[in-house]
Amino acid sequence: MNAQTNISSDTFAIGGDLIVNRMGYGAMRLTDQPANFGPYPDWEQGKALLRRAAELGVNFFDTARAYGPQWNEKLLGEALEGLPDIVFATKGGIDKLSPTEMVKDASPAVLMQQIDDALVNLRVDQIGLFQLHWVDPNTPIEVSIEALAKAQAHGRIRHIGVSNVTVEQLRAAQSMAPIASVQNRYNVLERDQDAMIDLTASEGIAFIPYGPLGAHPMQKGSPLAAHAGQGTRTGTQSALRALLDRSPNMVVIPGTTSIKHLEENMGA
């Protein structure tokens, strides 16, 4: 994996000025399962888990409009309102209409409405990182990013990111505005983003791997756990440590609904 070892920095400055701890938290699973549709059934437990994450040093929380939809943003906003130095990253450009129906729409008007909704849901005056969740086949990425740049100019978002993109799409986005992050799928077994990681690292862009544990909890005997486990670390911890060691621009966002697993993740 061309791993870079002995990386000492535990933080990364997204966009050059938004300093986050490189072990973040991905909140997608704090919705009604298995379809990520509807509010998280144990709302108070979800709030307790998020607050525990903050106590453990997590200050970067990743969510999206489509998670719930909107319920995930609302849970984060309620749980973490008023805590210092919390950075919210949310995503727009897709929406969930039912447990089985999702629509891609990254037209300027839709993105502006989703930003407005996210500001209310997250209970903030500015979104730290707003990411284009998917490229809309009916809207050129340049048009979507131009709209986000206008929202940025008006102070509604601080930095712009992109997700599920190719290098060519990243370059097209960069032609319209500075891009602070790329969020693509990557873990120790799915490594086709190595070139993107090296490119973003060279340009000071955060790489946020989703599915860092294979998009499901690493159970004993799973291929990922067997591949990653080493020494006294659990398989989960070794897999996360491998990502953190891969490149200094890696900001990892494992998700869990268990405080015990959260604490294990932080042991990486």
Enumerate residues 6+ apart whose C-beta is below 8 A from 252.
22, 23, 24, 208, 209, 212, 240, 243, 244
Six-digit token string for 139: 């809207």
Residues paired with residue 159 on neighbouring β-strands, in sequence order: 129
Indicate if 67 belongs to the active site. Answer: yes
Q: Which residue has the tokens 């984060």?
A: 76
**Per annotation, catalytic residue among 25, 40, 67, 186:** 67
Nearest of 132, 131, 130 to residue 104 by alpha carbon:
132
Q: Is 11 helix (H, G, I), strand (E, B) or coil?
A: strand
CB 133 within 8 A of CB 91: yes
162 vs 156: CA distance, rounded Å: 17
Cα dihedral 7→216→230→243 (10° resolution):
-10
Buried b (16+ CB within 10 A) or exposed e, 75-104: bbbebbeeeeebbbbbbbbbbbeeeeebeb
Catalytic residues, which ones?
67
